[in-house]
Amino acid sequence: AQSVTQLDSQVPVFEEAPVELRCNYSSSVSVYLFWYVQYPNQGLQLLLKYLSGSTLVKGINGFEAEFNKSQTSFHLRKPSVHISDTAEYFCAVSEAGRRALTFGSGTRLQVQP
């Protein structure tokens, strides 16, 4: 079975600063990796996903993530954050051939002016 670890429960950052949200996974088979964002009182929305090919994946709202197979990581980055990026971010994994996602515990990004 796969699992996902998000190392930081909260990340405070000032507006226009860069940010990295960390995600590590474990699985005995090939996996697909995702980042979802949850704004207050809303459901989750897909930011980006890695299925195959280039290990650097670009998503919406200026976010990108890099798949590192040797380190089993899929960290999310943004070079300059905005107040509107304040939300909870979830890393998720699915095993090849399966639909269901396993989510990490989430990282709350708090962007301060």
Partner 1 sequence: DAGVIQSPRHEVTEMGQEVTLRCKLISGHNSLFWYRQTMMRGLELLIYFNNNVPIDDSGMPEDRFSAKMPNASFSTLKIQPSEPRDSAVYFCASQGDRGLNEKLFFGSGTQLSVL
- Kindly tell me which of 99 and 113 has the beta carbon lying closer to partner 1: 99
* Site membership for partner 1, residue 45 (CB under 8 A): yes
Close Cβ partners of 60 (under 8 Å, ≥ 6 residues apart): 47, 48
- Kindly tell me which of 85 and 88 has the beta carbon lying closer to partner 1: 88
Close Cβ partners of 7 (under 8 Å, ≥ 6 residues apart): 22, 23, 24
* Site membership for partner 1, residue 81 (CB under 8 A): no
Q: Which stretch binds partner 1 (CB under 8 A): 20-28, 44-52, 62-70, 71-79?
A: 44-52
Residues between 21 and 40 with contacts to partner 1, criterion CB under 8 A: 32, 34, 36
Reference 85, options 5, 12, 8, 9; nearest CA is 12
One residue of 58, 98, 110, 112 binding partner 1 per CB under 8 A: 98
- Decide: 105 and 88 in contact? Cβ < 8 Å: no
Question: How many residues lie near partner 1 (CB under 8 A)?
Answer: 24
- Kindly tell me which of 42 and 112 has the beta carbon lying closer to partner 1: 42
d(CA 104, CA 102): 7
Give the number of other CB atoms < 10 A from CB of residue 29.
10
Residues that bind partner 1 (CB under 8 A): 32, 34, 36, 41-46, 49, 51, 90, 94, 96-106
